[in-house]
Amino acid sequence: MTGRWDGRALADSLLEAAQRSVEFGRSEGARPPALLAVHTGEASPFAFYLRQQRKAAGRAGIRYTDETLAADASSTSLRARLREIDSDPTIDGVLLEHPLPEHLGFLSAVSTLRLEKDVDGVGASSLGRLVAGQPIHAPAVARAAVLLARHHGGDLVGRRVAVVGRSGTVGLPLALLLVARGLGAEATVTIAHSRTPNLAAALAGSEVIFTAVGTPGLLDRTNVPRGAAVVDVGLSSVPDESAPSGQRAVGDANSESLEGWASALTPVPGGVGPVTVATLMENTVHAWSLLGRGLPT
């Protein structure tokens, strides 16, 4: 019997806690926290997240706005705009769509934000502070995956876990968070990736496997050790004629193969996704506190 590590109840409780913090601040005279999403337009895959973010922000009492980059935006104009936003005292948190088209220079752009406003935790200084064990905001998706695993699976201290994937925005921050002191994990972590010749050998002995590759069906009972839990952070679209959009979101885990083999799976959608959105709201409320909540200083 394979358990189902659903993320919705955890997301709800994170959003409720965020909403209580906002309410308390407002009772003291603060303005609402303000989150701004910057993206390339409604046609981007990011638009799916925009709708979820807007809804979650509404529940937490966060003012949510978004802005579309001009079609002729360059890395220079994007950095200039983010510098303006960075010094705008009415904005507490900023989300920049990623991956962005290469020529827009995502890393340099997002790294112009001060640490407090980088609520997705993916700027160079944010990631570096995670390496140094002093994060301001850990990358939301990595933090969400760890929270979800601990919520259902308990303490991770000293346990063997694996991360499949080595992206700078998901896989590696996840590995850093899982190994870090004082952030509740302190697991022994193995990082596997596309150049790992034998995935089954790399995953052997792991009790929890976090996967963040974006290859549907990558993990199945040929490479996941029997009884391991799989936290699925991969996200891809596959054609689905029965869906209104003609597409369906799927993770890296082959759930048919792993049913009755893994001890637990996180659903896609409804697993790490909603917790990530809630974590972004939690980070935004944190940013608002760090930045003085719009109160005169």
CB 9 → a second copy: shortest distance, Å? 29
Residue from 271, 218, 216, 220 nearest 239 by CA = 216
CB 206 → a second copy: shortest distance, Å? 10
CB 68 → a second copy: shortest distance, Å? 25
Of residues 103 and 181, the one with the C-beta less far from a second copy: 181
Of residues 196 and 215, the one with the C-beta less far from a second copy: 196
Of residues 160 and 293, the one with the C-beta less far from a second copy: 160
The per-type count for the chain, helices as H runs and strands as E runs, is 10, 11
What distance, in Å, lies between the first and last C-alpha atoms of the chain? 56
Six-digit token string for 189? 């972590």
Of residues 202 and 213, the one with the C-beta less far from a second copy: 202
Of residues 196 and 247, the one with the C-beta less far from a second copy: 196
Of residues 180 and 250, the one with the C-beta less far from a second copy: 180
CB 43 → a second copy: shortest distance, Å? 26
For the chain, the DSSP string reads: --EE--SHHHHHHHHHHHHHHHHHHHHTTPPPPEEEEEES-TTSTHHHHHHHHHHHHHHHT-EEEEEEPPTT--HHHHHHHHHHHHT-TT--EEEE-SSPPGGG-HHHHHTTS-TTT-TT--SHHHHHHHHTT--SS--HHHHHHHHHHHHHH---TT-EEEEE---TTTHHHHHHHHH-TTTT---EEEEE-TT-S-HHHHHTT-SEEEE-S--TT-B-TTTSPTT-EEEE---EEEE-TTSTTSEEEE-SB-HHHHTTTSSEE--TTTSHHHHHHHHHHHHHHHHHHHTTTT---
Of residues 160 and 286, the one with the C-beta less far from a second copy: 160
Interacting residue ranges for a second copy, rule: CB under 8 A: 107, 111, 123-134, 157-158, 160, 166, 168-169, 172-173, 175-176, 179-181, 186, 188-193, 195-197, 201-202, 204-205
